[in-house]
Amino acid sequence: MPRRHHATPRRRRASLIALTTAGTLLTLGMQTGAASAAPTDPRPGRITATPRAGAEPTALSPARRASLIKSAQTAAGTTAQRLGLGGQEKLVVKDVIKDADGTTHTRYERTYAGLPVLGGDLVVHDKGGRTTVTKASGATLKVPSLTPKLSASNATGKALAASKKADVKGSETEKAPRLVVWAGTGRPVLAWETVVEGVQEDGTPSELQVVTDATTGKQIMAAEKVHTGTGTGQYVGTVPLGTTQSGSTYQLTDPGRAGHKTYDLNQGTSGTGTLFTDDNDVWGNGLPSNRQTAGVDVAFGAAATWDYYKEVYGRNGIRNDGVAAYSRAHYGSSYVNAFWQDSCFCMTYGDGSGNTHPLTALDVAAHEMSHGVTAATANLTYSGESGGLNEATSDIFAAAVEFYENLPADPGDYLVGEKIDINGNGTPLRYMDKPSKDGSSSDSWSSTLGSLDVHYSSGPANHFFYLLSEGSGAKTINGVSYNSPTSDGRPVTGIGITNAAAIWYRALTTYMTSSTNYAGARTATLSAAADLFGAYSPTYLAVADAWAGINVGNRIALGVNVAPIADQTSGIGQAVSLQVDAYTTNSGAGLTYEATGLPDGLSISPSGLISGTPTTLGTGDVTLKVTDSTGASVTDTFSWRIAYIYANATRVDIPDNGPAVESPVTITGRDGNASATTSVYVNIVHTYRGDLTVDLVGPNGTVYSLLNRSGGSADNVDQTFSVNASAQPLNGTWKLRVQDRASIDVGYIQNWQLTP
């Protein structure tokens, strides 16, 4: 009969069994951290708040989740039309989350002409019929051809070369490259995706995903898909454990957590080895020489991680489908790492240097298994800034699990890998309060962050999470001293680990996508904070403060705020609709809007919508004032120019010290047709007397002289010129160049396409 012991001693004290565990944290393969105190133990100087009812996810049974996914897939065609997707695009449902208030968040992958779209994922948020969308890419999904110029075999060769450059040994591709559409960055292109398998330099298995442009042969991306990162445990101490009795033997199969199994690889590097068994249900002795010790740490880490996600967020397993992963201990010989592999849906742990320091600590397990949660949700691409956020996510939840378990042998902290002593001098791998203390990680965001290894570009996000949880400055938590700085030198007040982790979890599962970068993570966490605690609540403002503390975005000022409005240009007779984006941090206060200097024909509504049809040419300053009902206000000034603008043309602007140009430009013709002409319509308002020359410069540098006028009165040039464009490429950059008597050379560069 099955026998179950819960691995959560502070919550359910079933009869303890004497187990033992060993563990060590991975080197570059993972990051781990810990978080702050539970809500029952508030610290001085912390923002206290309780999440609002309704925004938390509802725990769904596997059957209910499957039903929601099936229903969403049935309606996918209608959803695609509603979102305005192209005729060749289709949506494939990946997951559905349902909030307590009935709001659904459906995560989709996309296909284009039947091909998978990498970086095309999106989330549709539906609340009472009101739909909003979060997209990984805002680019229009279209490629000029579905026929690759680069062959599959050549793509394989390039991928193998990339793997060798990444020091992957024994590289081979078990599957042929697959043709995809890459939409992760820039303009979507046809591409080959190849997965090269081998072994990384430290002995970790490698599944290197290489994406190659199918037209140019250029490598677009290379990202690693293997993410490294009563019993008495080496690290967790005496803990309860979930086991199953089979005859007279006990197995490390946890019936309370979907039958999660823990295997002994016996220093092997493939397969599952043998299932851990015992004759009396008393496991390990706390020493690495006992093989069961590592098994205890591994099994407990898996149980603790499962419990955390289920009890805190209602998540039913890593994929939220009620299916257990499995764990493998004793991988390789003296292997100093641990890793998550989505392809096997499993966790693997090495025994560390000399096979005496297993990488089986609690934060390692939680870190690696959280990679699986990320893969099942936002699936953050494991390179660049999104790769750093992927790693940080695992650190964040490793910290949260460590604090949630509250083990006497391993109290929560904001140190990564403090138990396993990989450095050999007692120091942790990384520090969440000040990541640069490890000598490689960054404390704050910079434009070069994405070029770092993902284990170091995660630093700013770890720092953000620490600041959001605990705040800045010097403090001691669970006996560990911290002193966290901010990039702007201003203090940050923490909200506690529980609320900080809840915000990150909702951002990850509801708003982040595969291409989310640091700026996108700020937006996602602010949206999550608004859902859970209210927009512009103290908790929401603390999120913005913590991001500003690592140089991502600005702090939100107390009182009325208005998003800056760029200088505007509108056309005579063309309708205008400009919504002012403003808010107040004063709870419950309403807003009123005033605008002076608006162009003739425009007005502002009580809701802040500027609309109307301009009637008079000219340029002037507009001053916008927004006031809330407490009397707080803010102003913003911008210029608004009213000009002649043609709907199918491009305006060419010349500064006030030169001729004023209102120049719609339309180019037609066919490349290679000797008789083809390009028609250029130019309307120039010449504001004073003087010489005036107008030239058109083609993509290949050819100058077409359109006008050369000496002297004359201030007047308009309004005419059509024709030039022979047969020598110009179909796509390219043209420049309309205007010079006045002061030799001011001004142009407006546009990408124009010659069409038949």
Q: Give the CA distances from residue 321 to residues 63, 109, 221, 261, 310, in Å, rounded to whole numbers and listed in that order.
A: 9, 18, 30, 17, 11
Q: What is the distance between the alpha carbons of residues 397 and 411, in angstroms, rounded to a whole number?
A: 15
Q: Identify the active-site residue in 368, 405, 470, 662.
A: 368
Closest CA to 337 of 319, 353, 315: 353
- State CA 629 to chain mean position distance: 37
Hey, how many other C-beta atoms are within 10 angstroms of the C-beta on 245? 15
Collapsing DSSP to helix, strand or coil, 210 comes out as: strand
Decide if 689 contacts 740 (C-beta within 8 A). Answer: no
Tell me whether strands 473-477 and 169-172 are parallel, antiparallel or unpaired: unpaired
Q: What is the distance between the alpha carbons of residues 434 and 430, in angstroms, rounded to a whole number?
A: 9
- State CA 18 to chain mean position distance: 42
Task: Return left, alpha or beta for 439; rule: phi > 0 is left, psi -120 to 50 is alpha, else beta.
Answer: left
One-character DSSP codes across 517-577: -HHHHHHHHHHHHHHHH-TTSHHHHHHHHHHHTTTSS-PPPSSEEE-----EEEETT--EE
Decide if 364 contacts 417 (C-beta within 8 A). Answer: yes
Closest CA to 484 of 496, 470, 501: 470
DSSP state of 195: E
Give catalytic status of residue 207 as yes or no.
no
Q: Give the CA distances from residue 17 to residues 21, 437, 750, in Å, rounded to whole numbers and listed in that order.
A: 13, 39, 73
Number of residues written out for the chain: 756
Token code pair at residue 180: 């995809």
- Taking CA 509 as the corner, what is the angle to CA 507 and CA 513, rounded to the nearest 5 degrees? 80
**Bridge partners for 122 per DSSP:** 108, 135
CA dihedral in degrees (172, 173, 177, 180; nearest 10)?
Answer: -90
Q: Give the CA distances from residue 353 to residues 267, 315, 474, in Å, rounded to whole numbers and listed in that order.
A: 13, 35, 35
Q: What is the largest CA-CA distance in the chain?
A: 108
Q: What is the distance between the alpha carbons of residues 166 and 225, in angstroms, rounded to a whole number?
A: 13
Decide if 429 contacts 421 (C-beta within 8 A). Answer: no
Q: What is the distance between the alpha carbons of residues 12 and 497, in angstroms, rounded to a whole number?
A: 22
Q: Identify the active-site residue in 105, 371, 455, 463.
A: 455
- With a CB cutoff of 8 Å and minimum separation 6, the contacts of 165 are none
Collapsing DSSP to helix, strand or coil, 737 comes out as: strand
Decide if 698 contacts 721 (C-beta within 8 A). Answer: no
How many Cα atoms occupy the beta-carbon half-sphere of 184 within 13 Å?
Answer: 25
Closest CA to 400 of 501, 477, 302: 501
Decide if 261 contacts 48 (C-beta within 8 A). Answer: no
Helix and strand totals (H; E) in the chain: 11, 42
How many Cα atoms occupy the beta-carbon half-sphere of 577 within 13 Å?
Answer: 1
Collapsing DSSP to helix, strand or coil, 445 comes out as: coil
Token code pair at residue 665: 């430009």
Token code pair at residue 584: 């107040």
How many Cα atoms occupy the beta-carbon half-sphere of 316 within 13 Å?
Answer: 18
Give catalytic status of residue 455 as yes or no.
yes
Decide if 321 contacts 268 (C-beta within 8 A). Answer: no
- With a CB cutoff of 8 Å and minimum separation 6, the contacts of 82 are 131
Active site residues: 368, 455
